[in-house]
Amino acid sequence: MSDQPNSDTALVIAAFGKAPELKLEMAKIREAESRYIEAKTVNPSTYVDLEHSFNESYRDLKRHVSSIGYHLTLAQKALSEAKADVILGSYADYLADKPKYADSTARMEAYLSKDPAYSAAFDRVAQLKALENHFDGKIKVVENVCRYMRKKMDLIIRSGLTDSGMYTQGKR
């Protein structure tokens, strides 16, 4: 398997403004997600492999959240620049022939929402925040699954049961 993202396993977010295209490799994350059900029956022989798979997924998710955070910062900067361009440019011209009381926050927000550059930057910020929240949720799931597996392994070790007697003990 190569280190290059495969189109089937990569989430690609188009370039925006000064931010380059963002490729998020999802293969290890999807593999871990498909193995979550195995955590229910974890035992000493499967624990190491499952833990490794979930740790790889966790590292990728954390790396993706960092990348998204960087792109979010760039998008917020683009949003600020677009807002400044509108307020100092066309909005100032728009207000030139209006009375002083015509300037209001609501009017300015309405005017801003009609600007294509501002709307695009606003949508990009919203998209990246949603993606960041989505990956944060995935991170919480991996943490909870690993916590569950550790507790289950602790119970198995403390019980003193071996693999052969673990599921048959007490059933007569």
Q: Token pair for residue 95?
A: 């207000």
* CA 138/CA 111 separation, integer angstroms: 38
pLDDT of residue 110: 86
pLDDT of residue 1: 35
Any domain includes 83 = no
Tokens 């693999």 sit on residue: 163
pLDDT of residue 94: 77
Any domain includes 142 = yes
Q: Tell me the DSSP string of 37-60.
A: GGGGG--HHHHHHHHHHHHHHHHH
pLDDT of residue 80: 95
CA distances from 106 to 4, 111, 112, 121 (A): 48, 9, 10, 19
pLDDT of residue 104: 76
pLDDT of residue 2: 41
Global pTM value: 0.80
Any domain includes 112 = no
Any domain includes 165 = no
Any domain includes 65 = yes
Tally the domains of the chain.
1
- Domain enclosing residue 48, as ranges: 28-78+117-159
Any domain includes 10 = no
Torsion angle, alpha carbons of 104, 110, 115, 119, to 10:
120
Per-residue pLDDT of the chain (172 residues; tens, 9 = 90+): 344 545 578 999 999 988 899 999 999 999 999 999 999 999 999 999 999 999 999 999 999 999 999 999 999 999 999 999 988 888 877 777 777 766 678 888 888 888 999 999 999 999 999 999 999 999 999 999 999 999 999 998 888 765 555 555 555 4
